[in-house]
Structure 1
């Protein structure tokens, strides 16, 4: 089977490596890809925002399955176009992708299905939002309704911060994504990521992870797309996982199916584990980044076979997934200036030496390009340095041993990835 992978980041590099392990694969294409993905796939210069161009290539290359990494093509209806042409795709339809494309859509679904989540209200004008803010006070969370590249959420500790966030949304800071907003209560607890697979009817748990969103050590600095992660998440016990499936994931899949918008793909639930039990913060409709990298390091099963079963509606017939017993951890190396304006074009150190620094190490390229034959930084999050270990401590030590081999003057990274899990274990 020929497979087309959509995307260009570390998540897609991890997906590409895992897909190439499958005996089902004939040839892997990637669009637009990156230099790391080019080592295992043929890169295609497609505009992945042009659904018709993607469809034309799939026909030309006899693609049997399209695997979509980022959220924008999903929200943009790429799956609908492909499936209408008889081409299988891993990911939800445009209608089901509203779970990520509209925070208000998800909150309303939670209300209909009785899914535990933060109390909320939706607004389409600033005056009404400010008036509501006067009644609820702070701390409070302000969210742009649409896709805002991870920058449309503000956890406001004061009314002044909340008002500024409301004005930023309606003043056009986030473009069309901020035309509507959601204001919701601030949940208290520990965050975790929970992934499940669904073929529209059947749903199975996939994996858990925890990531570090703040840019600097000690969970300080601005929010980012993620500066590191580990899997599994020790705080998500078997009992918590079953509660999440019963109270959050299964009702979501059942509600979407009953309303005529079945969800096929991976459902990523961002959770807050509160004193009252797990509550949904938000949904993503694709693999997380950098969570995907650590999850796939642990997966023993044939990923391509599993993705194909999801896309084909045959998930129930698949054998249970097999996992390695180790913990996986990743350290994100980011360009100086991230999450603001990153410094690009700086040369990267020896990735081969990093991968040989310790057992179980894998380095995934996220924001890289070749310049005169040399690998350089080309984005904010540039490298994902991952490792397997008997536990969080060993995985962390191996990952940081690999990081030490990458002498990159233009980058920075957190030095405390995994410390929360170690503290919980010690406690």
Structure 2
């Protein structure tokens, strides 16, 4: 059987990789060293035309299956790595290979947790994993092997966003059953407990973090979020403001209510309200629609807060939202990012840079007792914060074997604690 690459190939050079050689023996000239989680399969990262691909050696059956599952998740806009292709017909009966696009600015849990992980940061990681599980289950996806090893974490403003990176054991259904859902959570509990014990044994876990408590905590967070999204709520007919409150709570959790199912309870004057269709990314979609910026959900929420503050500061309350957004983009966001020196601009994504500058402005303004303005905040942030940050863009070390360091926590001593979310200050 001749060599065959099936998929949406964006780079013709993929065919020129040494597929006749076992992945473990590929020459270093094709590879780039990046942090990766524990895997039962051989995984390598290849750099081609400035892009990075993750390549996993796996049997042909599972390569085809996982490729299809990742495409199904992509069509549902679920948080997962993007499939590129799968390779079959390799020489000497070598296993097939699955190719996915490496997720920039992401890190496996070991790179995030090793050494300096504090309990507050762990809470944000667990929240991100709970949201990922809920989103997958709402889409009818049974993971079958949920673990920290099969997840990538990416900065999302002051929190983290989690992405599925391994769908080998997954199943896609029109709707996930209660047994499948609870079974998935039980697997997650077992896997996470084992991974935390492994970190503890290796001296990589903060002494205040208990492996069993952590595993049980993720289950508790998942059930709390799932119940908030799916449970029915009985209300009086005249008490419709509670429906609005429910929607607002879901929005704050990162979900949007696309449809509400309302039915009258027999023999009473009360209604039962249940969100029927929910989707993630309420703020993300609004920002994308208004500005074209495609960012993470918490980043979008923060940028929209600043946009709304700009609207008030400029006296544009009665102007169309799209016009205000265009002005904010041209007068605030783009000039702020452009003010960062070119050699430092690649350390963080533009949206994360802007978010951290807003945090820095808040901090300086609180200390000064008055708004210091955006220009002064940019200068101070560059000189006192950004120059000391590691490069989080997982693009590629200059020398083979050189690994990018794990990111600093946003609220370590010497950096800035994130302020409470509030409308941006007037005056720029």
TM-score class, shorter-chain normalisation, is: under 0.3
- Bigger fraction of residues in strand: 1
| TM norm structure 2 | 0.23
Rg bigger for which structure? 2
